[in-house]
Amino acid sequence: MKYMQIKTIQSVALTCLGVIAMSVISGCETDETQTVATFTNLVLDENFDNDGAPNDQVWGFDIGNGIDGWGNQELQYYTDRPENVTIQNGVLLITAQQESFQGSEYTSARLLTKDKFEQRYGRFEARIRLPFGQGIWPAFWMLGADIDENPWPGAGEIDIMEYRGQNPTVLIGSVHGPGYNGGDAISKEYTLENDRFDTGFHIFGIEWGPDFVNFYVDDVLYNQITPEDVNEETDGEGVWVFNKPFYILMNLAVGGTFVGSPNAETEFPQTMIVDYVRVYKNNAD
Amino acid sequence: MKNIRNIHLRFIVLFSLGIAVFTSCERDFSDDVQFATFSSNGDIFTDAPVGLTDEFFDSFDPNEGANPEGFGTDDNVAFEGSSSIRIDVPAPDDPDGGFIGGIFLDRGAGRDLTGFDALTFYVKGSTTATIGEVGFGTDFGQNKFAVTAQNIRLSTDWRKVIIPIPDPSKLVQERGMFFFSAGTQTTNGFGFTFWIDELRFEKLGTVAQPSPAILNGMDVVQQAFTGSNLIVNGLTQTFNLDTGVNQTVIAAPSYFNFSSSDIEVARVSELGEVSVVGEGTAEITALLGGVLADGSLEVTSAGSLAFAPPPARPAANVKSIFSEAYTPDTNSNFAPGFGGSTTETSITNNNGDFVLAYTNNNFTGIVFENTVDASGLTFLHVDVYVQSAGVEVGIQIRDIGGNQELETNTDNGLPQGDDVDFRFDLTGFTVGQWTSFEVPLGGDLATQKNNLGALILTGGPNFLFDNIYFYTE
């Protein structure tokens, strides 16, 4: 969610990688070059079955507009009002509204599991239908649980899903840590072919082990980031910090440096619809 | 009747396919059997026309200025393959015609386009001009499912253009494969060339978030009377494309399902034609592909409207602006759209007599296309009808002077420059009746009335006008 630079990746290369990844997954579970995780122990199964506010045993909220718009000059004021976050008909609705509220022009919500659900390693995934439009910025992501003692970027950040509403076919997955953060995060885009992220549900996930983070969407594994990648990208300066518990965040931001401001054509309200969030753990960990 | 036939045909097609599947293992149909399936081939031009009529390019009527000579193919330019369509846009004074445009028609009975979501092509220009209109569905017949996208910007490199289909399920048998019209409005009259390649219907899967509109998305309030006929226009469909661009197209009425909230007041045809049949209020709305269109028409009818008193003055003594009784002295703009105006103006057909209906007026005008020389005339006549008490309408007769420009001080609304006016309040109405006014061409007009250019109308807010003309007794 922090400043970042998105590298230009040839779509051909992406497609090829997608195809390779798929063949790996469907062909067998591992090969010589890639670690593929098998996580079977379901430890968080959040299906948003009860109408109303989300379960406060699992989900907390960030409220307000943060410092400098949560570090990104975001325009929304986060609340926990039903207008911005509620469960209806078995799905979680995170809704960005255009309204004057506490000095901001927009309201929305950010949920987080800090101090409620934190875990090292595993498979983290959510099934989400994304909103659309210029300046709309939903995210499903994680921060290192020691962030209060070990400030960002030292705590580490894994962005399982980020997306710009003006690019409704493009998903972005990233990691941030010391020596590779903000504009220099290690990041990759995935372009959905002949489909969009705002017209149906898609599963966004990571499989995370001691020395890898695999990024996938639906049945496509589209990236793997390892300590070696961090080394290469940062000329040995970067530190692998993905070896401790992280917590989950889900939010729908409006505006900010990553997406730019909404324009006259951006329709409000915009809603990010979350069908479920699931976390699996490797029995060995 | 047309619909019923189509459904019937589709049923036959489906039924025939069913037979084919279920009996194929027993025996084959003879070669004489032809099924009434429509081609679902989306290609229109790749390196050559695909399945089009021999004419390939069917020009607009040269008698109306279309240039049929500027169309061809170019084997030296192609986005892909070896050939492209080349269109040379003529200068406005070209003896062969001042613009170019026309259609491509399917060679057969039409194509089944229900499996696609957009017409796409690559285009590049010799300069960064704009193509006025492109689309499909125009067949020089009913144009039932015509679609038009306007102002396609050319680059000097190839660029992909996506024209979304407003509702593909409607296009079970479409002949109008392509339509374009181009002139030199954006190049100061200099001709230019553009090339089109890889022209086809495609299933992109990324044409999404439909946002249809009627009346350009406005909620229009309209006075009407039994016998009034109104038209729902401003019909568009907008899709969000994978580039994030919201692409709007003008869609034919047949893509929409119109409905009236009270058919005892107003009925609406499948072409968006509204017939007012009774007293009361009805709201006209529409669906496109199951999505409620932005915009609505609220029709309030006070029942039957009497005709205004028929004008009896000899035509020789009259210079008319708006009346069935006289030939107009000039055409006029009845909805000039002054900045800040809230007025909705319509010309309503009241059983064959057209009246001007003003709704929610703060200020508007009737702007004459050519000035009226009223040197020999002494009065303005207007018939006014109101439906509620307390209505007062201000009328300002404006002479715009020798420079032929309407010049108004935007702070106080007074004429400036060489403009002068005479102002008169229309009051004392009887509700539910026509009142005739004879307004003298007095005040400053007494010495300057040879360039009458406009009538400015203030207040109301709701009233009807008929028989507006200048005259001498």
List A7's β-bridge partners, or say none. Answer: none
In sequence order, the β-bridge partners of residue A278 are A45, A125
B 208-227 → A contacts, CB under 8 A: 208-209, 211
CA angle B456, B458, B464 (to 5 degrees): 90
- Is A199's CB within 8 Å of B209's CB? yes
Active site residue A162: yes
> For chain B, what is the mean pLDDT?
91
Burial class (CB in 10 A: 0-12, 13-18, 19+), B450: middle
CB contact (8 A) between residue A165 and residue B204: no
A2: closest CA of chain B, how far (Å): 23
Residue type at position B16 = S
How many Å lie between the alpha carbon of B400 and the closest alpha carbon of chain A? 38
Supply the pLDDT for residue B344: 87
- What is the tens place of the pLDDT at every residue in B6-37? 445 454 544 454 444 444 455 666 777 665 67
- The per-residue pLDDT for B337 is 87
Mutation site, A134, A136, A137, A169, interface B, largest B CB count within 10 A:
A169
Quote ipTM for the complex: 0.82
Residue B360: predicted pLDDT: 87
Preceding omega of A153 cis (within 30 degrees of 0): yes
Secondary structure E strands in chain A: 41-46, 60-62, 76-78, 85-88, 91-101, 104-108, 110-112, 118-119, 122-129, 136-144, 157-162, 170-176, 186-191, 202-209, 212-217, 220-225, 246-254, 270-281
Contact A161, A192 (CB under 8 A): no
| Three-class DSSP category at A206 | strand
Q: Do B206 and A165 touch (CB under 8 A)?
A: no
Maximum distance among all Cα pairs of chain B, rounded to whole angstroms = 97
Instruction: Please give the structure tokens belonging to residue B70.
Output: 């500027």
Please indicate if any CB of chain B lies within 8 Å of the CB of A32. no
Do residue A194 and residue B205 have CB atoms under 8 angstroms apart?
A: yes
> Is the Cβ–Cβ distance between A69 and A123 less than 8 Å?
no
Q: Count the helices and strands in chain B (H runs, E runs).
A: 1, 32
User: Across the 285 residues of chain A, what is the mean pLDDT of every consecutive 10-residue run?
Assistant: 44 42 40 60 96 97 95 96 97 98 97 97 97 98 97 96 98 96 93 96 96 95 95 94 97 97 96 97 72
CB-CB under 8 Å, A133 with B240: yes
Chain A residues with CB inside 8 Å of B240's CB? 132-133, 168
| B114-134: pLDDT as tens digits | 999 999 999 999 999 999 999
Interatomic CA distance for residues A183 and A132, integer angstroms: 23
pLDDT at B302: 82
Instruction: Write the pLDDT tens digit of every residue in A177-215.
Output: 999 998 899 999 999 999 999 999 999 999 999 999 999
- β-pairing, A104-108 vs A76-78, is parallel
Q: Do A168 and B204 touch (CB under 8 A)?
A: no
Residue B203 with chain A: CB contacts under 8 Å: 194
Give the model's pLDDT for residue B25.
52
Contact (Cβ atoms closer than 8 angstroms) between residue A188 and residue A8: no
Catalytic residue among A46, A74, A125, A162: A162
Nearest partner of B137 among B99, B98, B100, B163, judged by Cα: B163
Q: How far is Cα of residue A97 from the mean position of the Cα atoms in its chain?
A: 21
Active-site residue, selected from the candidate residues A74, A157, A189, A207: A157
| C-alpha to C-alpha distance for A136 and A271, rounded to whole angstroms | 10
Nearest Cα of chain A lies from the Cα of B121 at a distance, in angstroms, of: 17
Asked if B206 lies within 8 A of A168 by C-beta distance, the reply is yes
Q: What H or E segment, with its residue span, contains residue B17?
A: helix B2-23
| Residues listed for chain B | 473
Interface check A195 vs B, CB under 8 A: yes
Interface check for B247 against chain A (CB to CB < 8 A): the answer is no
Give A230's contacts (C-beta < 8 A, 6+ positions apart). A175, A177, A179, A180, A186, A238, A239, A240
Cβ proximity of B177 and B285 under 8 Å: no
Parts of chain B with a pLDDT under 50: 1-7, 9, 11, 13-15, 17-24
pLDDT, tens only, B39-72: 999 999 999 999 999 889 999 999 989 999 999 9
- CA–chain centroid gap for B320, Å, is 27
pLDDT at B55: 87
Provide, for chain B, the percentages of residues in helix, strand and coil under a 3-state DSSP scheme, each rounded to the nearest 5. Answer: 10, 45, 45
Closest CA to B393 of B349, B427, B344, B351: B427
Measure Cα distances from B84 to A168, B100, B196, B403 in Å. Answer: 31, 17, 6, 50
Q: What is the structure's pLDDT at B7?
A: 47
CA A34 vs CA A14, A135, A281: distances in Å = 17, 36, 19
Nearest-by-Cβ selection for A194 from B206, B240, B246: B206
Nearest neighbour of B209 by CB, restricted to A164, A166, A198: A198
Q: Is the model's pTM score more than 0.90?
A: no
Helices within chain A (DSSP H only): 11-27, 227-233
Distances in whole angstroms, Cα of residue B456 to Cα of each of A96, B162, B393, B464: 45, 44, 10, 15
Other CB atoms within a 10 A radius of the CB of residue A23 amount to 11
Would you call A261 an interface residue with chain B, using a CB distance cutoff of 8 Å? no
Looking at residue B34, what is its pLDDT?
Answer: 63
Measured CA to CA in angstroms, residue B50 lies from A172, B42, B102, B115, B200 at distances of 40, 9, 17, 18, 9
What pLDDT does residue A33 have? 54
Contact status of A198 with chain B (Cβ, < 8 Å): yes
Are the C-beta atoms of residues B400 and B445 closer than 8 Å to each other?
no
The H-or-E segment that residue B7 falls in is: helix B2-23
Count other C-beta atoms under 10 Å from residue B22's C-beta. 9
CB A195 to CB B206 under 8 A? Answer: yes
Three-state secondary-structure class, residue A122: strand
For A131, the closest chain B residue by CA position comes to B209
Q: Do residue B208 and residue A196 have CB atoms under 8 angstroms apart?
A: yes
Contact B191, B184 (CB under 8 A): yes
Closest CA to B143 of B202, B103, B203: B103
For residue B80, give the nearest of B195, B242, B161 by alpha carbon: B195
Question: What is the tens place of the pLDDT at every residue in B229-254?
Answer: 888 999 999 999 999 999 999 999 99
